[in-house]
């Protein structure tokens, strides 16, 4: 027999929902007060506490339309309850307002229409998944049109744009961003330097869901978009000249033609994204010199971490071997994000890390069987005054035993 009973009387639950809404309104009112760490903490606690209280009220009385309407209004106000730099909270509040509004409509509908509406929402959701699955590489026209006109905001808000949520394609290389932070008064003659690389595991896994890590991973992906560019004979000649000498920056002999070792990021990345990243790095408290020495410049490398090929596995190459990292030099910037070396011959070129055999070794010897017969040439290390970028030795100073020589 169908259950014809209506929802339980709302009773004292109204007071719980009203208290939660009042807390969110109070948090939004703090926007009129000068911002400080204490004020921001109070606003966040009030907003989160109010949202939790309203959630409890909805859990206790899920059949009342008025509670969903109140939750929708409270979620809209919560967008102003969070401090401005809590953009994730603002986005989550907007999403919660939409969910509560849809819940109010569904609850107000008769049972039959409610089932139809719920079915339509489910079909729309799975339609979005279908669009996400068919979008990579060469999407059909219909998927591209519907995705752009209908599904894009929903898929992005729910983070359903990543194909790994639905199937496992052939995995591609991962990316990192390496920052060489130089300290001193002259960026050509720094007194010390430190490396900062992200994302890094487990350092960036600061929460159970790994959101901090995946957000940093998304930052690296923003730098991967490059634009077609021609490499002139003069550019090639200058690059070859930079490879000369014992401390020259080598050219990867396995990537031919030489044009394939040149990678220019798209114009919006050069003009906006890279300067923004540099300014953020320059203001990180973690990277401020303990003796108060100012940051004079920051070098940026987009590093592709390649997956091992079957032949490399047979040779016993470690998945984290230095030669699996392919750093592209994206320039040196001051703390405001201004490019300092626009005419550098190495700008946007691959700065390889390669392992080369010594002269006269047997051709069947490998780094695994005869490691002493091979030497590692670290182009990034040579590019920065022969100072190692090993994360176990992040700081380097101008002490006699650890000089920072002028870098190229």
Q: What percent of the chain has pLDDT over 70?
A: 91
Give the per-residue pLDDT at 399.
Answer: 44
Residue 166 near residue 129 (C-beta atoms within 8 A): yes
pLDDT exceeds 70 at position 396: no
- How far is Cα 181 from Cα 276, in angstroms, rounded to an integer? 15
Average pLDDT over residues 21-36: 89
Tokens of 313: 């596995």
Pick 63 or 181 by higher pLDDT: 181
- Cβ(72)–Cβ(97) below 8 Å: yes
pLDDT tens sequence across 343-379: 999 999 999 999 988 888 888 887 878 888 888 999 9
Whether pLDDT at 144 is above 50: yes
One-character DSSP codes across 230-288: ---HHHHHHHHHHT-STT-----TTS-SGGGGB-EE-HHIIIIIHHHHHHHHHT-GGGS
Q: Is the peptide bond before 202 cis (omega within 30 degrees of 0)?
A: yes
Average pLDDT over residues 99-116: 91
Q: H helices then E strands: how many in the chain?
A: 13, 9
Are 46 and 81 within 8 A, CB to CB?
yes
Tell me what pLDDT residue 123 has: 93
* Distance (Å, whole) CA 139 – CA 149: 15
**CA-based torsion, 161, 166, 172, 178: positive or negative:** positive
Q: How confident is the model at residue 408 (pLDDT cuts 50, 70, 90)?
A: low
Q: pLDDT tens digit string along 239-289?
A: 999 999 888 999 999 898 999 999 999 999 999 999 999 999 999 988 999
Separation in Å, CA 303 to CA 183, 291, 381 = 23, 30, 14
Please tell me which residue, 279 or 155, carries the higher pLDDT value: 279
pLDDT score, position 395: 59
**Short-list 63, 81, 72, 87, CA closest to 13:** 63
Please answer whether residues 166 and 132 qualify as being in contact, where contact means their C-beta atoms are separated by less than 8 angstroms.
yes
The residue length of the chain stands at 408
Average pLDDT of 380-392?
A: 83
- Mean pLDDT across the stretch 122-136? 85
Contact 70, 55 (CB under 8 A): no
Q: What is residue 166's predicted lDDT score, i.e. its pLDDT?
A: 65
Q: What is the DSSP string of 172-214?
A: --EEEEEEEEEESS-TTS-SEEEEEEES-TTTT--STT-HHHH
Mean pLDDT of the chain: 86
Q: Name the one residue in this structure whose structure tokens are 């550019």.
A: 235
The one-character DSSP state at 137 is S
The pLDDT, as a whole number, for residue 403 is 43
User: 217-236 pLDDT, tens per residue?
Assistant: 888 888 888 998 889 999 99
Residue closest to 322 by CA, chosen among 176, 188, 127, 213:
176
Residue with tokens 């009342």: 64
The model's confidence at residue 106, banded by pLDDT at 50, 70 and 90, is very high
Please compute the mean of the pLDDT values over residues 65-78 and round it to a whole number: 94
* Cα–Cα dist 148/139, whole Å: 12
How does residue 170 score in pLDDT terms, banded at 50, 70 and 90?
low
Whether residue 216 has pLDDT greater than 60: yes
Least trusted range by pLDDT, from 1-5, 38-42, 86-90: 1-5
Single out the residue of 96, 69, 76 nearest to residue 24, CA to CA.
76
Beta bridge partners of 198: 177
Q: What is the pLDDT of residue 278?
A: 96
Structure tokens at 44: 């966040």
Give the SS3 label for residue 362: coil
Reduced to 3 states (helix: H, G, I; strand: E, B; else coil), residue 359 is coil
What average pLDDT does the segment 309-318 reach?
82
What's the pTM value of the predicted model, to 2 decimals? 0.68
Higher pLDDT, 79 or 213: 79
CA of 129: how far to CAs of 75, 81, 115, 117, 156, in Å? 26, 33, 21, 19, 12
């Amino acid at each position: 027999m169908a259950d014809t009973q209506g929802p339980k009387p709302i009773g004292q639950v109204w007071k719980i929902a009203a208290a939660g809404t009042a807390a969110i309104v109070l948090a939004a009112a703090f926007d009129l007060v000068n911002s400080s760490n204490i004020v921001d903490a109070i606003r966040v606690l009030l907003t989160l506490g109010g949202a939790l209280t309203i959630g409890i009220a909805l859990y206790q009385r899920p059949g009342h339309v008025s509670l969903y309407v109140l939750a929708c209004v409270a979620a809209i106000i919560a967008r102003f309850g969070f401090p401005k730099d809590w953009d994730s909270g603002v986005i989550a509040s907007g999403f919660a307002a939409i969910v509560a509004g849809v819940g109010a409509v569904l609850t107000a509908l008769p049972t039959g229409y409610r089932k139809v509406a719920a079915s339509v929402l489910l079909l729309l959701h799975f339609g979005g998944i279908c669009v996400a699955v068919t979008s990579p590489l060469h999407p059909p026209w219909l998927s591209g049109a519907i995705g752009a006109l209908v599904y894009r905001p929903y898929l992005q808000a729910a983070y359903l744009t990543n194909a790994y949520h639905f199937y496992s394609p052939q995995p591609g290389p991962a990316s990192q961003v390496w920052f060489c932070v130089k300290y001193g008064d002259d960026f050509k003659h720094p007194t010390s330097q430190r490396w900062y690389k992200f994302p890094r595991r487990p350092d960036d896994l600061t929460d159970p869901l790994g959101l901090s890590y995946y957000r940093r991973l998304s930052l690296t992906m923003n730098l991967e978009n490059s634009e077609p560019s021609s490499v002139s004979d003069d550019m090639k000649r200058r690059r070859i000249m930079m490879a000369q000498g014992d401390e020259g920056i080598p050219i990867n002999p396995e990537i031919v033609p030489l044009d394939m070792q040149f990678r220019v990021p798209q114009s919006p990345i050069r003009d906006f994204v890279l300067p923004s990243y540099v300014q953020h790095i320059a203001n990180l408290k973690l990277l401020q010199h303990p003796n108060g020495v100012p940051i004079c410049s920051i070098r940026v490398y987009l590093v592709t971490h390649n997956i091992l090929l079957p032949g490399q596995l047979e040779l016993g190459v470690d998945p984290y071997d230095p030669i699996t990292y392919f750093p592209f030099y994206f320039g040196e910037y001051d703390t405001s994000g201004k490019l300092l070396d626009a005419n550098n011959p190495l700008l946007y070129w691959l700065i390889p890390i390669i392992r080369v055999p010594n002269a006269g070794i047997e051709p069947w010897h490998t780094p695994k069987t005869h490691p002493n017969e091979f030497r590692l040439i670290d182009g990034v290390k040579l590019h920065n005054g022969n100072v190692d970028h090993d994360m176990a030795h992040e700081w380097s100073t101008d002490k006699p035993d650890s000089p920072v020589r002028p870098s190229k």
